[in-house]
Structure 1
Amino acid sequence: MLRPGQPAPWFVTGSPINPEFAFGSLGGFFTLMVFLPEEPEARADALAQIRASKAVRDQKNIPAFAVARDAATIATAQNEPGLYWFFDPSGAVSRLYYALNSEGAANPHWVLIDPSMRIFAVAGMDQTETLMNVVARLPAPDDHAGVPLHAPVLIVPRVFEPDLCRQLIGFYEGHGGVPSGVMREVQGKTVPVMDSTKRRRDAMIEDETLQALVRHRLQTRLLPEILKAFQFRVSRIERYMVACYDSQGGGFFKPHRDNTTAGTAHRRFACSINLNTEGHDGGELRFPEFGTRTYRPPTGGAVIFSCSLLHEATPVTRGRRYCFLPFFYDEAAAEIRAAYLATQEAQETQGLQNSEGARAQGASPASSAEVPAERAHQTA
């Protein structure tokens, strides 16, 4: 069994509204999961306990997820206030949580997960009443540790001087931004997708002179601080980009992680350098696994954090937030990126060969999405 204090295993599985729900996208609140008994009466009782829980029903801090493995339940399951479903027809999620052993024997039980995505409590079905009493008395998410939590982020002021901040904003205004998507895994490829997760416009910097100017500031003012704080030697920079969150469009970026696809797995640290902190309200960074506190570096200042951390950009409510948003990685991560790109190139080549063969036989080639080539530079 999993024990309190252990990380809750992550998974991707189906739900009534999302065929690929990423469990790792949760965080910032308590989560209750039940691996349902096979007996209809015991199963109905477990669901009734969830529906009767005011803490769950209020949907404020404690969503509950029932894990269904049988086809009949999966076919009829519907989300309702406070009660949601994970579909586990293969039993993979159940095995992660020791609710199904290697021989296929079920071990139904409850799992309560804390806001930092760690196990808070585990209870058998015969302990349901005790567990529900625990749920009813849970503290607010910000208080679950008993002390204030601080996200493991680094804030570094004075990375860009005011003139450079104005120059980068001018670059954006002169070139205009394009709508920004999010990266998703689609048929083994990492591709940009436009959805409701983010509302932002981006302008890529292709001018090598401006890139060099920015890179010099990062090398001399920021990377030494990353080495000192995290003992990580940055050797690669991915993308030179000015982004804009506009209050008129309600600019935001919902909770996400930056390295969860094959094409982004090389990313080690994210960086957000504010270019006009005084020119907007909202648009702050929040790390839900570490509470509701927000982080707002000054103009020209940077906030650095691991790409594995769940984070969000809160909505901009006044003005426009301009920021410079690179990713950092090292030579070991560069090998991961190169291997991914080589795999994609090989698949593209095979796809072209198959298409040529299909044309020779009079068939139409299948279309395929491409992974955008993002510019990366060595820092030295």
Structure 2
Amino acid sequence: MFTHSISGLFSSSEAQEVIRLSQRAQAASGGLVGGLHHHNIRRATIAWLDDGADAAWVMTRIVEGVARANRDCFGFDIAEFKERLQVATYDESDTGHYDWHSDIGEGPLARHRKLTIVVQLSEGEGYEGGALEINLGGTMLSAAREAGEAMLFASFMLHRVTPVTRGRRYSLTCWSHGPQFR
């Protein structure tokens, strides 16, 4: 299996703190691998958190969760975390979404992504739509909607966030890196 969930990686109050930290960072329109912007594919704002200072504990928790899941479930050759933490905001005002995609691409970092972790930051009842879905060869797996829940999957897997029709969804994403898949 190329997916794994972690229940309670963050508490609800910790998830709210990550949202607060992201609101202090400069938000930008979310792009695709390579920095392209196609709003028919992705409509979200993103903020990047530095893994030092106030957000160091967030990165530590992510690294520990990914290391444990990789050891227990995946066995991928992971060497490091080369990218900062990304907090995405999907809002009803612009029907925030991210159509089917994989996280591996031609970018210098994206070609080395091994595992993607997405942590639900919003409480599920705070929005409608906005489901994180992973395509398991034609079968769809929906990630948990409770704040603090995490979903890990191989970065080559197709996944999407369905359009948010009410409210706002926040999520935290990070990628681990290693030698390219062969």
User: Which TM-score applies when normalising by structure 2?
Assistant: 0.85
**Partner SS, residue 2 of structure 2:** coil
What amino acid sits opposite 2:36 in the alignment? V
Aligned mate of 2:6, from 156, 165, 180: 156
Q: What's the offset of the Cα at 1:212?
A: 1.8
**Partner SS, residue 173 of structure 1:** helix
CA distance in 2, matches of 1:292, 1:220: 27
Equivalent residue for 2:32? 182
What amino acid sits opposite 1:200 in the alignment? A
> Contact 1:280 / 1:321 at 8 angstroms: preserved in 2?
yes
> Contact 1:211 / 1:240 at 8 angstroms: preserved in 2?
no
Q: Report the count of equivalent residues.
A: 175
Tell me, which stretches of 5 or more residues in structure 1 are unaligned?
Answer: 1-150, 184-190, 334-380
> Contact 2:18 / 2:58 at 8 angstroms: preserved in 1?
no
Deviations 1:50-72 (A, max 9, x none): xxxxxxxxxxxxxxxxxxxxxxx
Equivalent residue for 2:15? 165
Cα RMSD between the aligned structures? 2.0
Tell me, which stretches of 5 or more residues in structure 2 are unaligned?
Answer: none
The structure showing larger relative contact order (alpha-carbon pairs under 8 Å, at least 6 residues apart) is 2
Q: What's the offset of the Cα at 1:157?
A: 1.1
- 1:311-326 maps to which residues of 2 (within 5 A)? 311-326=159-174
- 1:94-133 maps to which residues of 2 (within 5 A)? none
CA distance in 2, matches of 1:317, 1:260: 29
**Partner SS, residue 325 of structure 1:** strand
Deviations 1:228-277 (A, max 9, x none): 01123643122212111111110100111111314221011111101113
> Contact 2:91 / 2:164 at 8 angstroms: preserved in 1?
yes
CA distance in 2, matches of 1:172, 1:219: 19
CA distance in 2, matches of 1:315, 1:162: 23
CA distance in 1, matches of 2:158, 2:44: 18
Identity fraction in percent: 23
What amino acid sits opposite 1:276 in the alignment? S
Matched, 1:295 2:143: yes
**Greater per-residue helix proportion:** 1
**Residues 224 and 297 from structure 1, CA distance in 2 versus in 1: closer, same or farther, beyond 3 angstroms?**
farther
Equivalent residue for 2:53? 209
Equivalent residue for 1:228? 72
CA distance in 2, matches of 1:296, 1:180: 23
**Greater per-residue strand proportion:** 2
**Residues 202 and 215 from structure 1, CA distance in 2 versus in 1: closer, same or farther, beyond 3 angstroms?**
same
**Partner SS, residue 232 of structure 1:** coil
What amino acid sits opposite 2:115 in the alignment? F
Deviations 1:68-120 (A, max 9, x none): xxxxxxxxxxxxxxxxxxxxxxxxxxxxxxxxxxxxxxxxxxxxxxxxxxxxx
CA distance in 2, matches of 1:162, 1:234: 29
Matched, 1:193 2:36: yes
- 1:1-380 maps to which residues of 2 (within 5 A)? 152-183=2-33, 191-195=34-38, 196-206=40-50, 208-232=52-76, 234-237=78-81, 238-263=83-108, 264-278=110-124, 279-288=126-135, 289-330=137-178, 332-333=179-180
Q: What's the offset of the Cα at 1:160?
A: 1.4
**Partner SS, residue 116 of structure 2:** strand
Whichever of the two has the greater Rg, that structure is 1
**Residues 207 and 153 from structure 1, CA distance in 2 versus in 1: closer, same or farther, beyond 3 angstroms?**
closer
